[in-house]
Amino acid sequence: MLLYVLLAAPLVAALLTVFASGKDGESSFRLGLVLSLMVALLGLPLVTCMPLVEAKLQWFTLWGTNATVHLSLASDGLSAWLIQLVIWLTPIAILGSRKLVGERMRDFAAAVLVMEALMIGALLSRDLVVFYVFFEAMLVPMLVLIALFGGAERRSASLWFFLYTMFGSIFMLVAIWWLAWKTGSTDLATVITALPGLKQSGQLTATGECWLFAAFALAFAVKVPLVPFHSWQAKTYSETPAGGAVLLAGAMAKIGVYGFLRFVLPMFPALSAEYAHIFVWLGLIGVIGGALVAMAQDDIKRMIAFSSLSHLSLVMVGIFSFHQAALAGVPVQMVAHGLSVAALFLLVGYLEARSSSRGLDDFGGLADRTPIFAVLFVTTALASAALPGTANFVGEFMLLFGTYLGLGFTVAFLAGLSVILTAVYLLRVVQRWLYGKRHPSLDRLPDLGAGEILAVVPLLLASFFFGFYPKPINDQAVPVVVELSATAREQALMLKSAAAQAKAGKVEAATAAPATAVPAVPAKAAPVAPAPAASAPASAAPVAPAVSAPAAAPSVKP
Amino acid sequence: MKVSFELLWLIPFLPLLGAIINGALSLGGARSTYGASRGFVSLIAVLMPALAFVITVIAAFTLSGVQSHADMKNALVQNLWEWIAVDVAGFKFSVTAGLLFDKLTSMMLLFVTGIGTLIHLYSVGYMWEDRGFARFMAYLNLFMFSMIILVIGDSLPLTFLGWEGVGMCSYLLIGFWHHNNEYNDAARKAFIVNRIGDLGFLLGAFALFLVMDSNGLGSLNYREIAIWFQNPAHAELIATSSGLLGAACVLIFLGCTGKSAQIPLVTWLPDAMAGPTPVSALIHAATMVTSGVYLLARLADVFVVATAPVFLGLDALDIVLIVGCMTAAWGAIAGLVQLDIKKALAYSTVSQLGFMFMACGVGAFDVALFHVFTHAFFKATLFLAAGSVIHGLHHEQDMRRMGGLAKLMPITYAWFWCGWFAIIGLPGGSGFFSKDLILERLFLGGGFAPFIGAVALAVALLTAIYMTRVMYLTFWSPARHSDEVKGKVHESPATMLIPITILGFGSLVVGVLWSPLLEQYGVGTHAFESYLRPVLGSAQAISAKLAHPGGHSAHPSLWLFAGAGIAAAVGGLLIARWFWHRGHVNSSEKDLVGFAAWWTWGFDRVYHALVILPIKVVAWIMAWIVDALVAGAVGLTAEVARFLGDGYTSVQRPRLRSSLALSAAGAVGLVSLLLLSGPIAWVVGLAAVAVAVVFLLLEFLL
């Protein structure tokens, strides 16, 4: 029952805010804040009593198939912690938007609460169609937020955001429909168990499976975003009001990563393993490229957008390394990034609300003028740069560790360059904004008020708490992540040992006949294997035991 | 034998508490005109490190009380909580927030908290007039916390917590006077250069884990690392993964070069002198910059078995030895041509750190730590006395406008003299003992170590020259003060002079802790060496065996090395006297300014050309591409929307076409990036080299 209540509560809260509050911004601010806090308290037990599965409610029969869609909700460690992110960021978004939104708080709070409900729905649903509905519907309140409260270019940004993400997930709808048609069910667990049968009976060809895989991967890659599909991000982030950006960057982007873990890896383990190197390379381009582009930005919201791209790409690299250590870093990194990016957006939003500018050169010497802002900004920047003691460090450490153990030195080194580059672009803005000569035009800039401070401080405290004590997240979410990716990981290990054997055979052949065959680049641990090998594991090499040392130990001489 | 000691957590916690209290006071008083009560702030700021020092002393006595001959590796431990732990699907990894207090930690902590407390006291006097007094004290306390975590943490990740923490505090303190953008640049540079080393630290730690994981015992805990590498049964595993082990050691050493300002990551330290002088004394001379040496000593068991050649036939410790030697020479030559008194001392620190790494390079970790210990005393003395000079001269740092201060500031002069006496290695001073030990170990080392020893002796001569030059220019030569300060030169307040006195006295006498002279009085010979033997003994035995496989080589008389060291010191003194005793700098030093710039900024220029500029250009180009792509794509969307709305007629064909072309170009670019392998990689690599050469030429020709 709890999950249904949790799903409905923000919607009820949104209705209450709309109808019960007066026209003035203040009353709807208070109501929205109190109601969202109540929702958050309601959702808190999720982290203690889990896993939780609700009775399914029959909904409708999908057109053209004999599959019945059920409203099936369930919570486990991964969902629970991402939901915590959603439900606690919502009151913070409302609290931090008071000055920026002002009298129009009623619309703002309602949109934020609706978005909260839809994100909770997406994270809880275990039915493909239901998930899709929530996943798409999330766009609508976001669009409202951007269109009503966005920056100067909000029209084109909202259009762009909507069309791009819509385009990304439309193929997923087709794929879901096809799966429902073939398997007669839209239940996630049923589909996962039915897929191998479809392949064996020939109803699903290797090419067809690739298309399905691509459709799902595309939808989530746009959401994360992964590199070639990132171009909506900077524009949208920079035009979104700070409170909306808190939810957009802090929580909604995580649902893209969540989609990979919940749907792509369990449904298509063989293909995920086979094409893992593509995701790793795209991730690496995102990690380094995102950081480099962030260095060249003068608009700080755009800088945060590219920084976000860089950090979430690192998560993708970690996931597709399939190493347990990296997978162990995924949940805590998602939470950590949610906290720090939300704090960054809030702080930039505060300045924007005061002076309606956010450029690199628009401020200077703020450390004197607004010391509280300065302290919070420096702390947040250092947390984003993964200083040890913050949750970001725990996540980044485990991700890099797993990347090293799973994919070798080169990939870990390239991914680790973000450690340096992140410091470069964050300290650049810290220096320009906070230090140096004070701009005379800023002499009347007021420091942060109590509400604004209260919105940021919990984020930083949580980041420190999980930085020193990530155990609650690790204990509950990591086993789920590892289990969801278990089959894909087995496949990846199989491919790796097969590649190692092929390499050994090649070396033998090379010693027999003097041929100078150069082995493949070790970073690409999984050269594209013939599709039958994946569908018929018996013919593949014996499954390598789950050793942590990679088959091709990196013998790099720096 | 591990003994639980329940008070250990207080050692890092107390300074952290001080940082929190003072930080809150600073923030709370930020709006008022005067700030928080200075008396209370100073009380908290000095009391917390002092209490930490007291607990350290108690812990050290407890530790020496624990005697069990079966296991020499006595340690006090306290496990606080499980920090990062993974135990899934057959992979087990765990880091506890655990504190390890063994002889090595105890030695480091005693001087970190002891000297730290004194410098806090000094700062009270030095910074009293500054508006940001409470903020400064909060940062200093936070630094103490991080530094204590660095040496008391029982695993590499926990040390890394302190490692980055001290880097952050260093960043905040170098840029403390943040109205000056040059200072801010220096702070940022220090942080980013350190981060490069930190990446090496992390990757090295991962590689080390991988080596130990070859039989499933992977760990990053120091005790487990030591046990694993001391286990004779693991010799074969070490041999099979020797390449990886060598890489791990070099990567970790890269981290050390960042924190301890060695070549190639050396250039941040001289710039770091932008910070207030107590910061230079505490962070950039006595404690933080020596943490690289600490880390090498902590991992001594690993480094001595990493004997596989890593690069040009050199193993990890050879690289340490050569890097240390190069840095020592570079720093000494740079120190010779400085005009700023703090910069001269900074290059001297770089050079002395090179000495410490040279000692590590021949496996003499205890000698290296002894030099860390004595250096902490005499360099802190020199910096604090220099700070007193700067304070007395109203923020004058240029030695060309000093001179004659021996009479004007007699107390400061007396203690600066002690520091000078110690650093140049005149007999009796602490530097005499530690530096001669390094020379001795170098000359007795295997391989090419004796050649390095010869260079080190020359560097010792240079040390005497540049330090005596500083003495002449500052104290001994006739006064050349600028008009503003003439007649206003004053001696510093007691809060500044008391710490200098204690440290100056220490820099004269602490050398006896490792002195054969005391043997006959029964005080216990080589007290320092035997103190550290439980931690370092086994590693040093291995390295000694490697250096002289045939047993002990001929051991020349110690007086030979002592004589050489004294000769270098006296020789340098005389040479310096010949050049500078009149204090003539304006004429003869003019040429030196150009040389100094060329010599010291060479690294900066190379890095600027090879790293910073290309990164900026690439970032700019990428940002441009991204903008163009987005612009094209947005245009495309608008077109699509208009097309859907108004029908085909309103499509502006050229704009659509250009948008499509841009998107396609982007896609092609990405695909070709993905296909970068084989011969294409060679072409790209060569092109990159060519671009680098062009950048380098541009940098130096224009």
A398 touches chain B (CB under 8 A): yes
Q: Identify whether A501 is part of a domain.
A: yes
Give the pLDDT confidence score for residue B256 in this predicted structure: 94
pLDDT for res A531: 39
Of the pLDDT bands very low, low, confident and very high (cuts 50, 70, 90), residue A296 is confident
Per the CB < 8 Å rule, is B206 touching A404? Answer: yes
Nearest Cα residue in chain B from A485:
B89
Nearest neighbour of A436 by CB, restricted to B184, B206, B218: B184
The single residue listed with the structure tokens 């029964």 is B522
Cβ atoms of B344 and B283 closer than 8 Å = no
Chain B residues closer than 8 Å to A323 by CB: 91
Residue B640 banded pLDDT, cuts 50, 70, 90: low
With an 8 Å Cβ cutoff, are B164 and A278 in contact? no
pLDDT tens digits, B54-86 = 999 998 888 877 765 545 567 888 888 889 988
Please name every residue paired with A69 in a beta bridge, in sequence order, or none if there are none.
Answer: A60
Q: What is the pLDDT of residues B462-491, one digit of tens each?
A: 999 999 988 888 888 887 777 777 777 788
Query: CA B173 to CA B279: how far, in whole Å?
Result: 7
Contact B214 A549 (CB under 8 A): yes
Which uninterrupted H or E stretch holds A59?
Answer: strand A57-61
Least confident of A264-278, A341-355, B28-42, B688-702: B688-702
Which helix (H) or strand (E) segment is B138 a member of? helix B133-152
A516 touches chain B (CB under 8 A): no
Do residue B247 and residue A409 have CB atoms under 8 angstroms apart?
A: yes
- Of the partner residues A292, A400, A423, the one whose CB lies closest to the CB of residue B202: A400
Minimum distance, in Å, between the CA of residue A6 and any CA atom of chain B? 30
pTM here is 0.87
Tens digit of each residue's pLDDT (9 = 90 or more) over B106-142: 999 998 999 999 999 999 988 888 888 899 999 999 9
Residue A187, SS3?
strand
In chain A, whose CA is at the least distance from the CA of B312?
A557
Inter-chain touch B89–A325, beta carbons under 8 Å: no
- Which of A231, A401, A405 is the closest to B630 by Cβ? A231
- Number of structural domains found in chain A: 1
Residue A412 has its nearest CB partner, among B203, B246, B670, at: B203
What are the distances in angstroms from CA B252 to CA A398, A517, B189, B311?
A: 18, 34, 21, 15
Predicted confidence (pLDDT) at residue B53 exceeds the cutoff of 80: yes
Q: Does B114 touch chain A (CB under 8 A)?
A: no
pLDDT attached to residue B368: 92
Q: From the CA of B83, how many Å to the nearest CA of chain A?
A: 6
If residue B217 lies in a helix (H) or strand (E), which one and from where to where? none
Q: What is the pLDDT of residue A518?
A: 41
CA distances from B7 to B21, B79, B108 (A): 21, 11, 18
3 state DSSP class of B78: strand
B56-80 b/e with 16+ CB inside 10 Å = b?
Answer: beebbebbeeeeeeeeebbbbbbee
Check CB contact of B182 with chain A, cutoff 8 Å: no
Residues β-bridged to residue B85: B94
Task: Name the burial class of residue B236, with classes exposed (0-12), middle (13-18) and buried (19+) by CB atoms within 10 angstroms of its CB.
Answer: exposed
Give the C-alpha separation, A29 to A42, whole Å: 20
Is A237 contained in some domain? no
Q: How far is A371 from chain B (nearest CA, A)?
A: 7
Q: What is the least distance, in Å, from the CA of B254 to any CA of chain A? A: 11
Facing residue for A431 by CB, picked from B164, B184, B218 = B184
Gap from A203 CA to chain B (nearest CA, Å): 32
Q: Give A377-438 as a 3 state SS string.
A: HHHHHHHHCCCECEHHHHHHHHHHHHHHHHHCHHHHHHHHHHHHHHHHHHHHHHHHHHCCCC
A557–B311 CB contact, under 8 Å: yes
Instruction: Determine which of A330, A419, A425, A426 to mutate to test the interface with B (most B C-beta atoms within 10 Å).
Output: A419
**Cα distances (angstroms) measured from residue B337 to each of A472, B186, B272, B351, B383:** 57, 21, 18, 14, 18
Structure tokens at B474: 């500052």
Residues 6+ apart with CB under 8 A from B632: B658, B659, B660, B661, B662, B663
The beta-carbon neighbor of A482 closest among B88, B171, B254 is: B88
CB contact under 8 A, B247 and A412: no
Residue type at A354 in one-letter notation: R
Touching check for B198 and chain A: CB below 8 Å? yes
Q: Please, are residues A489 and A322 in contact by the beta-carbon 8 Å criterion? A: yes
Is A529 within the bounds of a domain? no
pLDDT in tens, A498-517: 888 888 877 666 555 544 44
Nearest by CB to residue B86, choosing from A285, A324, A409, is A324
Residues 460-479 of A with CB under 8 A from B: 468-471, 474, 478-479
- pLDDT digit string (tens) for A384-414? 999 999 999 999 999 999 999 988 899 999 9
Query: Is B130's Cβ below 8 Å from some Cβ in A?
Result: no
Domain assignment present for residue A322? The answer is yes
- Please count the residue pairs, one from chain A and one from chain B, whose beta carbons lie less than 8 angstroms apart: 199
Nearest to A296 among B82, B86, B623 (CB): B623
Locate the chain A residue with the closest alpha carbon to B311. A557
Residue A513 domain flag:
no
What pLDDT score does A264 carry? 93
CA distance A157 to chain B (A): 8
* Alpha-carbon span B584 to A280, nearest angstrom: 64
Pairwise CA distance, residues A404 & A400, whole Å: 6
What gap in Å lies between CA A537 and CA B25, rounded to an integer? 66
With respect to residue A238, please indicate whether it lies within any of the assigned structural domains: no
Identify whether the C-beta of residue B587 lies closer than 8 Å to the C-beta of residue B668: no
**Inter-chain residue contact A397 with B84, CB threshold 8 Å:** yes
A159·B638 Cβ contact <8 A: yes
Cross-chain CB nearest to B634 (options A160, A293, A468): A160
Query: Do the beta carbons of residue A292 and residue A421 sit within 8 Å?
Result: yes
Interval A159-185: pLDDT, tens: 778 777 877 788 888 888 888 888 888
| φ and ψ of A60, to 5 deg | -155, 170
Taking a C-beta distance cutoff of 8 angstroms, is the pair A491, A270 a contact? yes
Q: Round to whole Å and give the CA distance between B23 and B30.
A: 10
- Characterize the bridge pairing of strands A52-53 and B91-101: unpaired
State which residue of chain B sits closest to A465, comparing Cα positions: B83
Facing residue for A293 by CB, picked from B83, B310, B622: B622
Confidence of residue B648 (pLDDT cuts 50, 70, 90): very low
Q: What is the pLDDT of residue A523?
A: 41
Chain A residue numbers touching B184 (CB-CB < 8 A): 431, 435-436
Residues from chain A contacting residue B163 (CB–CB below 8 Å): 388
What domain range is A342 assigned to? 275-507
Cβ atoms of B489 and B481 closer than 8 Å: yes
Average pLDDT, rounded, for chain B: 82
**Residue of B176, B202, B319, B668 to mutate for A, most A C-beta atoms under 10 A:** B202
Distances (CA, A) of A312 to A242, A334, A341, B531: 20, 8, 11, 49
Residue A304 lies in a domain: yes
Report the residue from A292, A413, A428 with minimal CB separation from B615. A292
Q: CA A154 from chain center: how many Å?
A: 23
Q: Are A146 and A158 in contact (CB under 8 A)?
A: yes
Is the pLDDT assigned to residue A522 strictly greater than 50?
A: no
Sheet of strand B91-101: strand arrangement: B2-4, B75-88, B91-101
Bond before A51 cis per omega within 30 degrees: yes
The pLDDT of residue B605 is 80
- The model's pLDDT over B153-163, given as tens digits with 9 standing for 90+, comes to 999 999 999 99
Partner A contacted by B188 (CB < 8 A): yes
- Domain assignment of residue A287, yes or no: yes
Helix (H) or strand (E) holding A61: strand A57-61
Chain A segment 331-360 residues within 8 A of B by beta carbon are none
